[in-house]
Structure 1
Amino acid sequence: MNHGEEVKDQSLKVKVIKSFKNFKCKYRNTDKSIFYAILADDSDFIIAKVIDRKGKKDFSKGASIIFTNFKYWNGILEMTEYTKLEKLTGPPVEVPMKIREKAKKGILLEEVKKLPLETIVSGLFNVNKWRKVKNGYILTAEDETGKMDIAIFNQVDQIILKDNKKMHFLGFKVDMFEPNQYEKKLQLKSTSQSFVQVMFLYSYN
Structure 2
Amino acid sequence: MPGGGAAGAPHRRLAPGRLVLASHNAGKLREVAALVAPHGLQVVSAGELGLPEPAETEDSFLGNAAIKALAAARASGLPALADDSGFSVAALGGDPGVRTADWAEQPGGGRDYAMAMAKVAALAAPQADRRAWFTCALVLAWPDGHTEGFEGRVEGHWVQPPRGDRGFGYDPMFVPEGGDETFGEMDPAAKHRISHRARAFALLAAACLPPAG
Report the TM-score, using the length of structure 2 for normalisation.
0.26
| Higher share of residues assigned helix | 2
Report the TM-score, using the length of structure 1 for normalisation.
0.26
| Higher share of residues assigned strand | 1
| Higher RCO structure, 1 or 2 (CA under 8 Å, sep 6+) | 2
